[in-house]
A and B are shown apart, each in its own frame.
Chain A
Amino acid sequence: MTSSKIEIPGEVKSDPAALMASLQLMPSPVPNPEIKYTKIFINNEWQDSVSGKVFPVYNPATGEQICEVQEADKADVDKAVQAARLAFSLGSVWRRMDASERGRLLSKLADLVERDSVYLATIESLDSGKPFLPTLFVDLQGTIKTLRYFAGYADKIHGTSIPMDGEYLTFTRYEPIGVCGQIVPWNFPLMMTAWKLGPALACGNTVVLKPAEETPLTCLYMAALIKEAGFPPGVINILPGFGPTAGAAIASHMGIDKVAFTGSTEVGKLIQEAAGKSNLKRVTLELGGKNPNIIFADADLDLAVEEAHQGVFFNAGQCCTAGSRIYVEEPIYDEFVRRSVERAKRRIVGSPFDPMTEQGPQISREHQSRVLEFIQSGITEGAKLECGGKALGLKGFFIEPTVFSNVRDDMRIAREEIFGPVQQIMKFKTIDEVIERANNSDYGLVAAVFTKDISKAMTISSAMQAGTVWINCFNALSTQCPFGGYKMSGNGRELGENGLKEYSEVKTITIKMVAKNS
């Protein structure tokens, strides 16, 4: 497929007739999808929890229960770690496997996810409330591409041979770390699973993975595909459960060599503490953000308004990358606010299975209340509520697209991560000022700048304390490009070649030589 021919659903929408026509051609969700897997996946087998406990999983669009899932706790984590350790033991099938064969298995997994992508997207929508079509085009494609990308890397993780001083021959090997605990969030359940599994498996590790308690279903289905693809038993173990119990057991486990966590900064700190208190396991964290999106007066205004809108409202605002501090240059501030409000008012909120829907519900009742409370604080602290601000509908956890103008940097809505459909628009005058204000945050995940001036773009992009900077675009994530946070937005990088380093130990091997020559 050539880039020029890719039809982006968002672009089609400008022509309602064409949109309706194209929607006819789009895949439809699976009606009344059967939920096949609700147990714990250890050693390629489905198991009940040791405690016998289960927990309910809800559809956030209706608040109704979908099913019950086995609840993993410490005892189950112990079992999973044992399986993962055995799978990682010297001489095991997994350790003896050619690197290219590991890649082949990942590639097969990608093919299987592709085969079942409509079903998976349906379940993902049902369980997380995200609209079906974006799930199919963004989440599922992202999952498939990530698995394929790391499949290709399996036999390309090169060590080096080193011209060391003295009569020696030295070379390095990149070896897997061992058993990796992986804790994934609910905002992109399947894609975050792929981000975690891809590099871990390409490098030859074994995995104990905990999906979020809100959204375990697609991850469990993926477990079935993992088995079908032919991964040896124990290489991947998937344990649905809660953070304070199963998650904490992973973080503090003495038999886990590395833990990777994606979620809130608050929990990220607990993970690092637990590693410090237990076995100094390696820690990578991908945490929150309060990301600045800087719009200069010379920017293409239509593009900037739309990208800034998508940048904060995408996935009902539940993105760590959300561009939730929009800094707009003074001369265009009023116009930018006017257009942004107009755009937000047009945003279609509704059933995730309606093809016209742009925004589904928030993930849970609790989260909905949290976002509404942030909105209240904005009003109280004196920001101007331009539109939205309320819960929407009688059932489900929907919130109106909300825009605040006249936001000051010291307000809570400008400092804390809201993780909801709430846009903050601020005004700035000079480039030096906006650099300082944008960087004045505990976070440093992403930043964006909109301008036609290459010099401003380069100046901002090098000045931002952020792991990713987008120029005239937003959320342009791709499996080839590393992603992760400065400061309290995280440790380490996922994706790209950098992502592999986080799952490798380097071993330096030095051999005494008799008579060295160059």
Chain B
Amino acid sequence: MTRAEMVLSALFYQSRCTRNDVLTFLMFQLFINNEWQDAVSGKTFPTINPASGEVICQVAEADEADVEKAVKAASNAFRLGSPWRRMDASHRGLLLNRLADAIERDAAYLAELETLDNGKPYAVAYAVDLPTVVKCLRYYAGWADKWEGKTIPIDGDYFCYTRHEPVGVCGQIIPWNFPLLMQAWKLGPALATGNTVVMKVAEQTPLTALYVASLIKEVGFPEGVVNILPGMGPTAGAAIARHMDVDKVAFTGSTEVGHLIQQASGSSNLKKVTLELGGKSPNIILSDADMEYAVEQSHFALFFNQGQCCCAGSRTYVQADVYDEFVERSVERAKKRVVGDPFDLKTEQGPQIDQEQFNKILGYISSGKREGAKLMCGGGIAADRGYFIQPTVFGDVQDNMTIAREEIFGPVMQILKFKTLEEVVTRANDTKYGLAAAVFTKDIDKANYVSSGLRAGTVWINCYDVFGAQAPFGGYKASGVGRELGQYGLDNYTEVKTVNTVPIKNLFSALVVCLLHTSLPLCTVLSAAVFPPKNDKKAKFLLFSTKKFNLQNA
């Protein structure tokens, strides 16, 4: 047993919901059909504690054959007449509520596991990630029996209504930066609307998702409704994206992979695709903003979660007359940022997720220096083991530098200078991304001007990273397709079925339609149906009208 494995067992032991050793072992397997299974290939992969670089444990590695099994289970759970399809919508909501309750019960344990596997400070995992997960699930629990179709006053005597039906088997591929939260964002709307799920969790952070799988079983979701597969993108992820029996795929991750997902859908079965991808989000500070507040918010906007946020405010545009003061204060703040052991409650910043990201970020920092940005603080490694990077601030950044154009996904802040509103809106929009943006000002007109001018899915005014399960989130342009959260999030998981019926009374109107289209044989058939022979008075009249009409047309 490695040290990390001992820590893990200790964690299991300490948690209020202590599991026996067998279950502990089982949870590193794949979760298909409410059962724990080894990978078909027998392969496993190590998951690593990024604070130490040590292996925590081995996890079963799903590949195409396992995706095949999971999709079969999900299809079966979705078949007409299955317990899941026959279930009252309110009961789906109740199950989601119970899942939220179970996660709330085990919040301390889940937060510990999240920190161990992901490196985010425990205080944040416990106080931010976990409550948000619970709230998201409760929010969508409430939607289950409120996602209403319409009745529609269609022309003619037809009765028309729509039903909101689930899409079917949904593939969901989630990232490592907020493992639990992204899982909740995906499961909430998919399950509220009655879909079944094959979810691939990121290979860096499979542990909490697998624990949630055990809770899914515990609270009573029928087998096959949720299947959770740890695995790699190019194998398991790709198998989901191109699977002919997956009706929809939702992906959160890089724009680069987002392209591949949509391509795979196009070359397979045209499955519906929603994407929540990268960003290079502008954060615009006008000179009339509350300086102290704007500095703190901008610091948080970029450095939160070690900079590993798709919506990170990584282009901080500051108006010229306050630029120097802003940079000075931001550097001061970044230097104060506490980097260290994520289990230390004082820690603000933990390690980056893995060696690859760590190297990539250091590479971006070198490019910044090389291309002439001014390194104001940080820029190096912050510890002799694990993947820690110093909080880094660049001043005098130009729009064409690599660090101002590409998503760094690390604790590296770029501060740029602007003079006028028109200029900053143009520059802020000059990117392939459009996920989020923010503006800090006390002037309501400026706030309105900037917020309506920015091409981004979310705009924060005098705040940053304000999320609520109630508010939709997603990207313009190459930042994504579709919206998650809020009522909008339900659209992604819904097929609309339009039902039209023609009652007898309305066969009469069908008859009129036929008359207008001079289809005499059909008219005769219809009129016989509408007016059986004993009711021949009206029928004769109508047939007479038909003839007359046709004669006139002739």
Give A residues with C-beta under 8 Å from B: 1-4, 99-100, 103-104, 107, 145, 148-149, 151-156, 158, 169, 453-459, 462, 479-480, 497, 511-517
Contact = CB atoms under 8 A, between A and B. Distances in A.
B142 A514 contact: no
Given A100-B139, A153-B146, A156-B487, A459 B444 contact: no
B6 interface: no
B445 interface: yes
A455 B145 contact: no
Interface residues of B, number: 36
Contacts of A456: 503-504
16 contacts: A2-B83, A4-B86, A100-B470, A103-B142, A152-B93, A152-B141, A153-B146, A155-B142, A156-B470, A158-B487, A455-B506, A458-B501, A459-B504, A480-B146, A511-B448, A517-B453
B135 A514 contact: no
Nearest to A431: B505
A458 B146 contact: no
A453 B87 contact: no
Interface string B432-476: 000000000000110011001100000000000000011000000
Contacts of B505: 455, 458-459
Contact of B87 (A2, A104, A517): A2
Contacts of B503: 454-459
Nearest to A155: B470
B94 A148 contact: yes
Interface of B: 83, 86-91, 93-94, 97, 135, 138-139, 141-146, 148, 159, 444-445, 448-449, 452-453, 469-470, 487, 501, 503-507
Contacts of B504: 453, 455-456, 459
Contact of B145 (A4, A480, A514, A517): A480
B452 A107 contact: no
Contacts of B448: 169, 511, 513-514
B81 to A, nearest CB: 8
Counting chain B CB atoms within 10 Å of each CB, the highest count among A103, A455, A459, A517 belongs to A455
Contacts of B93: 148, 152
Contacts of A149: 90, 145-146
Contacts of A4: 86
Contacts of A100: 135, 138-139, 469-470
Given A2-B83, A155-B470, A458-B159, A107 B507 contact: no
Given A152-B144, A152-B145, A513-B448, 7 more contacts: A1-B87, A3-B87, A4-B86, A454-B503, A458-B159, A458-B505, A515-B449
B194 to A, nearest CB: 13
Contacts of A479: 90
A230 B148 CA distance: 31
Top 7 closest A-B pairs, CB basis? A152-B142, A455-B504, A455-B503, A458-B503, A2-B86, A514-B445, A459-B505
Contacts of A152: 93, 141-146
A511 B146 CA distance: 32
Contacts of A3: 86-88
A344 B86 CA distance: 34
Contact of B444 (A158, A454, A457, A511): A511
Contacts of B453: 517
A154 B470 CA distance: 11
A151 B100 CA distance: 15
A235 to B, nearest CB: 20
A103 B504 CA distance: 45
Nearest to A514: B445
A20 B88 CA distance: 29
Contacts of A512: 445
A145 B504 CA distance: 38
A156 B470 CA distance: 7
B148 A497 contact: yes
A103 B138 CA distance: 9
A102 to B, nearest CB: 12
Nearest to B87: A2
A291 to B, nearest CB: 22
Contacts of B90: 145, 148-149, 479-480
Contacts of B506: 455, 458
Contacts of A455: 503-507
A502 to B, nearest CB: 17
Contacts of A517: 452-453
Contacts of A462: 159
A156 B86 contact: no
Contacts of A107: 97, 138
Counting chain B CB atoms within 10 Å of each CB, the highest count among A158, A458, A462, A511 belongs to A458
A156 B485 CA distance: 12
Contacts of A156: 139, 142-143, 146, 470, 487
